[in-house]
Amino acid sequence: MIEAGISCWWDQDIDPGNEWRNEIAQRIKSATVVLTFWTEHSTGSKGVIEEASKAQAAGKLTHVRLDNVELPYGFAETQYTDLSNWHGSASDPRFQSLIMVLHDRLFPPGREMVLHRIAKAGPVSAVPQRGKIGLQDVPIEGKPSVDDPEDLGNRFDAVVHDCLEFLEQWEELQPNVPSTIKRNITKCHDMAESQTRNWHLWERQIKYIEIRLAEDEESDWRGTHEIASLVAQQISGLKPHLKPEVLPDLNQAPLETAPEIKFGEEANIRIAETADAVAIILDRPDSREVFNEEAREFLQEIEKDLAEGMERQGDSSEGASQSRFRFWKLAIGGLAGFVATAVTLTAPNIAANLLTNPDAAKTLHSYLEDLLNLLLTFF
């Protein structure tokens, strides 16, 4: 971190003879950012939890998970970087993401820079496709690392097979868990049948399944959780065939990362406003003229994610809280990149050259701008 230009202090720097508790308290008070590393040992340390709690209350906390440990109670609301499989390389994209988060905290980027990074580094981008706006994985200039159509077809077939097995077992065993997991598996089946090639849409389904399995791990799955986990594994096998990659250039700066998502105070109100704004866009006849079916389905899924998080507010348990913020983070991160680029494509001077119905795009443009302004409040 020091090599990346970040001024650091940690408790190894306490001068001999100084009272360490007082010095740590003063350092937390004077720091701009407090970085906490969660491990099996630190999650059991009352001192670490107390110091992290003070930093969180002051709005200074950034934290990292270094192994596969659950975060202590009360820390689900603050976004963390997962370095559980990090091997110490400064060029690792996850470490670079952490460095970017720290830089953003120390030197907050302006609106234009935030917009640039959302559009450049969001998981998906809006792109013109046959006269309408479609969806494409980022980086747009990248290519999947594997080009084997036969193997990809076999992997799609394997996903279909395991999804059908899950759905058959669900009907037979009637597990005592929320039916939302059934909806996710059904969606995976339909995507595999149609051989959907957008990796972000698949990655979302993996994360949905992981969230469902984690939050309901004590429920009576009656064996179906193993098949759901197998579906997620099969989907992961699609990644090298679908996810675009760009070979790193050692002579260039590291790839940009999207800004940190911050929920903060009144997050529930802003999430509700965002869900309403998405619903308004989808309800407008213009949206059918401007967005293709894949883009509309993406927006519909986003709206469901935001709404589901709102529905979970009645459950104050830590597990439910973590799930809610994971759903919201997934939705806001994907939506922001798409909307930022869709605003550009629907601008009159661009839509006239790229879209079949530039008049509809012009009308929808103002609604997309309003939605983008809402999304910027999360960064």
pLDDT above 90 as % of the chain: 60
| Of the ranges 1-5, 210-214, 306-310, 337-341, the best mean pLDDT one | 337-341
User: 222 pLDDT exceeds 90?
Assistant: no
Domains for the chain: give ranges and CATH numbers: 11-106 (3.40.50.10140), 111-142+247-376 (no CATH), 149-242 (no CATH)
β-partners of residue 62 are 35
User: 338 pLDDT exceeds 90?
Assistant: yes
Instruction: Please give the pLDDT value at position 247.
Output: 64
User: 219 pLDDT exceeds 80?
Assistant: no
Average pLDDT over residues 231-243: 96
Terminal alpha carbon distance of the chain? 22
Helix (H, G, I), strand (E, B) or coil at 60: coil
Instruction: Please give the pLDDT value at position 254.
Output: 52
User: 358 pLDDT exceeds 80?
Assistant: yes
The reported pTM is 0.79
Mean pLDDT (the chain, rounded): 89
Per-residue tokens: 220: 């009576």
Average pLDDT over residues 228-242: 96
How do residues 79-122 score in pLDDT, each as one tens digit? 788 898 898 988 888 898 899 889 888 988 889 999 999 998 88
Instruction: Please give the pLDDT value at position 217.
Output: 63
Average pLDDT over residues 309-336: 76
Instruction: Please give the pLDDT value at position 255.
Output: 57
Sign of the alpha-carbon dihedral angle for 180, 181, 184, 186: negative
How do residues 180-197 score in pLDDT, each as one tens digit? 899 999 999 999 999 999
- Hey, what amino acid is at 191? M
H-type helices in 216-292, by residue range? Answer: 224-236, 239-242, 267-283, 285-290
Confidence of residue 14 (pLDDT cuts 50, 70, 90): confident
Average pLDDT over residues 214-220: 71
β-partners of residue 135 are 126
How do residues 54-72 score in pLDDT, each as one tens digit? 998 888 999 999 998 888 8
Instruction: Please give the pLDDT value at position 251.
Output: 47
Cα–Cα distance measured from residue 350 to residue 341, given in angstroms and rounded to the nearest whole number: 12
Range with lowest mean pLDDT among 136-140, 211-215, 293-297, 334-338: 211-215
Confidence of residue 320 (pLDDT cuts 50, 70, 90): low
206 within 8 A of 242, measured Cβ to Cβ: no
How do residues 24-51 score in pLDDT, each as one tens digit? 889 999 999 999 999 999 999 999 999 9
Strand order in the sheet with 34-38: 34-38, 61-65, 80-82
Instruction: Please give the pLDDT value at position 16.
Output: 73
Confidence of residue 154 (pLDDT cuts 50, 70, 90): very high
Burial of 20 (0-12, 13-18, 19+ CB in 10 A): exposed
User: 268 pLDDT exceeds 90?
Assistant: no
User: 250 pLDDT exceeds 50?
Assistant: no
